[in-house]
Structure 1
């Protein structure tokens, strides 16, 4: 007999993904807030710091490609577990390094471990949600990235002031092991979960375009096959051009506010909290908007593209940050752009699960994430060179102005390339 009133356990699953993503970004954000202290401790230049960021990005790129296929083959429960253990240990190891080279090594280890988060989370959403709800679910868990970025400017200065920079890495890194307990208690794929009834199971699989997901070893789809598909390249282009902008917001905003507006990073930073709080609204609102378009009758792919075009336009005003007369004007412009990025992110991730079958989602997300990380390797190199040159000329703000102008253009360019590659974003048949 079919239950008439469906359970809603899938939203508990989203909460698990939300906290995992929060921890993921908390761990990667710590170094940006400790940058002034570590520059003093290890005599880093902007170029030194950019090389450390590049080590993270290079390992993240490699890890995304590896973890995507790994999670598609091994399953979400075990794959997520391995990823989280790896990155949490790497985060804690920052506390014992004594050299700049050592920081590069542990950042690379952190990037390798953290690369498993999004391929696993997007696959979980594809397993637990019909397409009409996926963008909202993705927006909710993706907002954890912003909560982690909000928590870091509050936690890290407090830990730094009382216990020192080493304990900032140890305490934040250890939080992941608490999440792991809840993951093993509460998570399973829908076909094996005892907390959902038949009505929710039927709702999850209401798209009727493929069978229910099974966790554990599955047939692996070769990457070469995915690289021959236009939809893969559309996702790759979108991630390559826009992910580096988010990495800039994560790793350089603290130092931008400190150098341009004399923000004291040894104290909890309200401007950073406001910027990353805005991104939480953008992430959830971005997922809601395209889901709302779909519920109003708009075709799925048109809804995604329309929403993404709106968010690309919302980033453009950041170029005016160069004219900001005070910190709050800059906060307003950057908050809008950062919120728009997260709204864009919720939809571009969901577009991958819209276009590809569930058994290929992690692999595709891994490939696209790798492209974003590769862009994130090149962009920090450029940022370090621009900022060191600007600092040498006595006007570091001019360097940031160039970077903000590039940010303003990136999303519209990404949208047009994606549209040229996949005008109708057809579903891929494998």
Structure 2
């Protein structure tokens, strides 16, 4: 008689590790937006100066994405993740020694190229440790680390800067990554060789592989990078990232400045509203990953219908952000709540758009495709950043900065519906897996 062994759940421990790595990733990158009022006085930055520094990060991040995904595919997720996090921690600390606008740009560029490794590595880990029906949920959980990092940052960074110095804010947040590395090397192994993963859990993790083998698919084909560029599925992901990434980055780098400008907040007053927005975004990330899994398990929908329907729902909610300024005229918290809803929708969208890569591509090509899409998304973010700097400088000169923000919010509110249409009506309406497309 077969001995049925209860399934272990070590894959969720791995999910928690990449959650904390993503938290550190966003903690490090958000420090400069919270120190902007201090740094722009010390270095006489204009909005365009600041946007150039932001763009230096985004350009390096985009170019880094292009190569780092393929590197992680080759050297493996364990070593690739560790190298990336070690280097971006060094880059974060380097900001403390910057002495000019140019040197800040250099430090930001180094941070960008090294932080580019987080998402290709994290999505690859999820694909290695979770079956397809759980991947969006796992991605939503680790992706919520972006929000937790963004919540922690406004609570501690201004306090460190006021109590000690802005330099210490960069040093202390950058050093956190070294602690994570200890746990990563102690706890991470491949699922097939991990002593804390029993046969039942390994069978669950590999259930897609067994199904694909039984149906004659080629789940482990290795597609050359140049070949990936010929698939519409690659460009569906890339177009979706191009239109939506810039929205997130705009709020990440300009939300504190918007609240300070609009509501005359000073000192630590900025901390709580920003923290509330990112807490809401964190809920959106987890709920966004849960919904398609629920539709598949409870409603019996297939993966494609569940994914596309969920993403359409998430694409509608950002429209509300166009009304945030009008609502905020009555009370700041109305604007904070509306922006929080929009950012929660973005994170729900993000948990799913990242998962579309493992839905459509074999595991050996996931890092490369994430890298390609991340690069295109990075250029979209640069476009938004440069446009934001130019618009806000222009309208500041006209004493009408609110109009500049409204134009930016107009884009933020409509970008997701445009992206959804291009992804699922034009480029990849059936989300056909690559192995099937090749037959």
- The TM-score, its normalising length taken from structure 2, stands at 0.95
- Distance in 1 between the 2:99 and 2:203 partners? 55
Deviation of 1:301 after TM superposition, in Å, equals: 1.1
Alignment of 1:313-328 (within 5 A): 313-324=316-327, 325=329, 326-328=331-333
- Distance in 1 between the 2:98 and 2:132 partners? 45
CA contact (8 A) 2:221 2:362 kept: no
String of CA shifts for 1:163-200, please: whole Å, max 9, x gaps.
11000000000000000000000011111211100100
- Distance in 1 between the 2:53 and 2:241 partners? 21
Alignment of 1:134-283 (within 5 A): 134-207=135-208, 208-209=210-211, 221-267=223-269, 269-283=271-285
Structure 2 counterpart of 1:214: none
Moved more, 1-10 or 56-65: 1-10
Q: Aligned to 2:352, which of 330, 336, 347?
A: 347
Alignment of 1:16-165 (within 5 A): 16-165=17-166
Alignment of 1:368-387 (within 5 A): 368-387=373-392
- Distance in 1 between the 2:312 and 2:118 partners? 26
Q: Give the secondary-structure state (helix, strand or coil) at the position aligned to 2:207.
A: coil
- Distance in 1 between the 2:121 and 2:267 partners? 33
1:286 aligns with 2:292: no
Q: Provide structure 1 residue ranges, at least 5 long, that are not aligned to the other structure.
A: 212-217
1:391 aligns with 2:393: no
CA contact (8 A) 1:258 1:265 kept: no
CA contact (8 A) 1:242 1:410 kept: yes
- Distance in 2 between the 1:69 and 1:405 partners? 36
Deviation of 1:222 after TM superposition, in Å, equals: 2.0
1:421 aligns with 2:421: no
Deviation of 1:268 after TM superposition, in Å, equals: 5.7
Deviation of 1:322 after TM superposition, in Å, equals: 2.8
Q: Indicate the RMSD between aligned Cα atoms, in angstroms.
A: 1.3
Q: Give the secondary-structure state (helix, strand or coil) at the position aligned to 1:290.
A: helix
- Distance in 2 between the 1:306 and 1:242 partners? 17
Aligned residues between the structures: 424
- Distance in 1 between the 2:221 and 2:368 partners? 12
Deviation of 1:219 after TM superposition, in Å, equals: 8.6
Deviation of 1:221 after TM superposition, in Å, equals: 3.6
- Distance in 1 between the 2:420 and 2:318 partners? 12
Deviation of 1:3 after TM superposition, in Å, equals: 4.8
CA contact (8 A) 1:161 1:266 kept: no
Q: Give the secondary-structure state (helix, strand or coil) at the position aligned to 1:245.
A: helix
Structure 2 counterpart of 1:13: 14
- Distance in 2 between the 1:385 and 1:248 partners? 13
Q: Give the secondary-structure state (helix, strand or coil) at the position aligned to 1:252.
A: helix
- Distance in 1 between the 2:359 and 2:189 partners? 22
Structure 1 counterpart of 2:217: none
Deviation of 1:309 after TM superposition, in Å, equals: 0.2
Q: Give the secondary-structure state (helix, strand or coil) at the position aligned to 1:11.
A: helix
Structure 2 counterpart of 1:336: 341
Q: Give the secondary-structure state (helix, strand or coil) at the position aligned to 1:331.
A: helix
- The TM-score, its normalising length taken from structure 1, stands at 0.97
1:357 aligns with 2:357: no
Structure 2 counterpart of 1:4: 5
CA contact (8 A) 1:154 1:268 kept: no
- Distance in 1 between the 2:50 and 2:4 partners? 57
Moved more, 336-345 or 325-334: 325-334
- Distance in 2 between the 1:319 and 1:267 partners? 24
- Distance in 2 between the 1:176 and 1:226 partners? 33
String of CA shifts for 1:272-316, please: whole Å, max 9, x gaps.
011000000000000000110111211101101100000000111
String of CA shifts for 1:213-233, please: whole Å, max 9, x gaps.
xxxxx9964211000111101
- Distance in 2 between the 1:8 and 1:14 partners? 10
CA contact (8 A) 2:256 2:270 kept: no
- Distance in 2 between the 1:3 and 1:138 partners? 29
1:367 aligns with 2:367: no
CA contact (8 A) 1:240 1:372 kept: yes
